[in-house]
Structure 1
Amino acid sequence: MEYKTLRGEQVTINMQGLYWYDTVTSAAQMQGNDLITLVVGLPLLLVSALLAFRGSLRGQLLLTGTLGFFLYTYMSMSMLTAYNNLFLVYVALFGLSLYAFILSMLSFNLSDLPTHFSNSLPRGWIAALMFITCAFLTLAWLGRIIPPLLNRTTPALENTTTLVIQAMDLVLIVPLAVLAGILLLKRSAWGYLLSSVFILKSITMGLAVSTMGINMTLRGVSESLVLLVPFLMITAANLTLAVILLSSIDKKTGTA
């Protein structure tokens, strides 16, 4: 069903399943995200939690990064998804992942964290990837925000009231990428922690966004291809560096 929003934008409502009142574009994105959460996110959460409880530093880092993915996902679902029967589930998962993420971050011993990583860790490459991610998101989202401001028009909002994802990325992800990259280059303990969490969180998030783009394309939303290729490339780079990062943890100083 098509209708015109208060801002004069013509949108198509999904009119099926859980995301009945969301637009076709939004529903396709959330379905893609749900798939990755079930197939990748949940198994990763369980495995990393088991490893972390056994004292594995790799498991601890992986768990924190996975919790970061759940935090971002259900923060956006709580505020962006059209109201449905799972609203309280979204809110509960948002709250649980938020406090679990905080507690997981506080569980690290920062004083000796850098000693667990090999000197061969490619800090420059990891920092460069985070800076590239920062630049990509900044250019992509400001390119969507600034032109309408200059033209005194409204960006494409679908049936939402504002740009929720863009706000979250510009407030949370972009500054984190810059801060983590700079601190890592300075060999700061916080740099190792934030970079590890950022890289590991970005894998699941990148897979989710890529799956969203594919599902949107299957639903006929062709403009999704514009962002799909860069996200796939960044996700592949994150995966490669995540393997290198986890492999660089010294078995003599850190629990495997």
Structure 2
Amino acid sequence: MRTRLRRLPGLVAALAATAAATGLARRPTGEPVSVTTPRGQTAELAGSGLYAHDTVFTAAGNTAVDAVVLAFGVPLVITSWLQHRAGSPRGSLLLTGTFGYLLYVYANYALGAAYNPLFLAYVTLVATALAGFLTGLATTDRAALRALAADPGVPHRALSRFLLTAAAVTAVVWLQPLLTALRTGGTPELLDVYTTPVTSALDLAVVAPAAALAGLLVRRGDPRGHLLAVPLLVLIVLLLPTIALSTVLQAAAGISFTVPQVVGPIAGFGVLGAIGARLLTRLLRAVPAVPTPGPVPPSEVPDEHVHV
């Protein structure tokens, strides 16, 4: 791939690091505040810190996300960006996947979190991560992808099954509370003061269908399936530390979990994250870490690089 993202990844990394560090520095420290929701139910808000107007459950989860973004997300952007600028197909593919992860994280913040002073930062991160993600999808080295799809050393069948399973698990986990709410005439669990379950909407409308499509394309040997698989695998892998830390912080904040909640989102996504890490490693190792030698077509001379 001759097209280079020169400045955009640095901007995304700086914004994400600032937003995540602010969330960690301004964690809730006071007593929760009880409020009555528009539906007449009682909910507890964090009451202090950046996420003061989010519920205790969500504020603890956001703190976990901030820690994972700072510990893993930002370093991944920087590392893969440097590799991408050196012409590495592996670095370019990983950069696209990391953009996809940050797009998912900050779409949740911008659309679902209670308003806070970083709202415009979240919106900017959605816009810049989306631009980087789409550019990455459009300019990934097609020759490297075709070689990846044909590589007998890549566990294509296992990858296809994993993606299809991830799609099914995601659908079941989020549909269960929604269908229960429809059956009982109530609202989904943990909706509390929020107007709509944004994470459920994104996972059911975007993540689950994308995982199913990627799984089917990989099964057919279509390189586009492997291209879609990388951002999904990055997201699934980073869910593992996120869910583990979220559970610890939420339990410390006084949140109790039912058996279905432990077996479903916590254990289910935890197992997916562990398996996804191995598959992502196998997939990236099969992609060249250095530029593929060969002549540069006239349409891809340096003057036509994308400088964003």
Same fold (TM over 0.5): yes
Question: Does the aligned pair in 1 maintain the 2:87–2:290 contact within 8 Å?
Answer: no
Letter in 2 for 1:89: A
Residue 128 of structure 2 corresponds to 96
- Asked if the contact 1:184–1:191 (Cα under 8 Å) also holds between the matched residues in 2, the reply is yes
Aligned pairs for 1:67-146 (under 5 A) are 67-110=99-142, 113-116=145-148, 118-146=151-179
Instruction: Give the letter for the 2:282 counterpart.
Output: I
Q: Gapped runs of 5+ residues in structure 2? A: 1-32, 294-308
Shift of 1:244: 1.1
**1:25 corresponds to which residue?**
57
CA distances 1:168-216 after superposition (whole Å, capped 9, x unpaired): 0001100001100000011112112112232123222343233222321
Q: Decide whether aligned partners of structure 1 residues 94 and 252 sit closer, same or farther in structure 2, where only a CA change above 3 A counts.
A: closer
3-state DSSP class of the match of 2:94? Answer: helix
Deviation at 1:42, TM superposition (A): 0.4
Secondary structure at 2:43's aligned position in 1?
strand
- Mapping of 1:118-197 within 5 angstroms? 118-156=151-189, 157-197=191-231
Q: Deviations for 1:121-150, whole angstroms, at most 9, x for unmatched residues? A: 111111111111111111111101011112
Contact 2:237 2:277 in 1 (8 A): yes
Q: Structure 2 matches for 1:215-254, cutoff 5 A?
A: 215-223=249-257, 225-226=262-263, 227-249=265-287
SS at match of 1:162: coil
Contact kept in structure 1, 2:99 and 2:129, CA below 8 Å: yes
Query: Could you tell me how far 1:100 is from its partner in structure 2?
Result: 1.0
1:9 deviates by 2.2
Mapped to 1, the partners of 2:218 and 2:65 lie a distance apart of 30
Output the amino acid matched with 1:120: G
* C-alpha distance after superposition, 1:63-113 (max 9, x if no partner): 111101110011110011111111111111111111111111111133552
- Name the SS of the counterpart of 1:222 in structure 2: coil
Which residue matches 1:59?
91
Q: Which amino acid aligns with 1:50?
A: L
* Structure 1 unpaired stretches of 5+: none
State how far apart, in whole Å, the 2-side matches of 1:254 and 1:9 are: 60
CA RMSD of aligned residues (A): 1.9
Identity %: 29
Is 1:35 aligned with 2:67? yes
Q: Which residue of 1 aligns with 2:22?
A: none
- Alpha-carbon distance in 2 for matches of 1:13, 1:95: 29
Deviates most, 38-47 or 127-136? 127-136
**AA in 1 matched with 2:287:** I
Larger Rg: 2
Aligned-partner Cα distance in 2 for 1:20–1:251: 44
Partner of 1:2: 34
Cross-structure match for 1:205: 239
Superposition TM-score, scaled by structure 1 size: 0.93
The alignment partner of 1:168 has SS state of helix
Which has the larger displacement, 108-117 or 44-53? 108-117
The AA in structure 2 aligned to 1:38 is L
Please say which of residues 201-210 and 141-150 is displaced more in the overlay.
201-210
Render the CA deviation track for 1:225-247: whole Å, top value 9, x for unaligned: 34222222111111111111112
- What TM-score, normalized by structure 2, do the two folds share? 0.78
Q: How far apart in 1 are the matches of 2:285 and 2:80?
A: 15
Q: CA deviation at 1:120?
A: 1.7
CA distance in 2, matches of 1:205, 1:184: 22
* Distance in 2 (alpha carbons) for counterparts of 1:123 and 1:232: 22
Provide closer, same or farther for how the CA distance between residues 186 and 254 of structure 1 changes in structure 2, counting only shifts above 3 A. Answer: farther
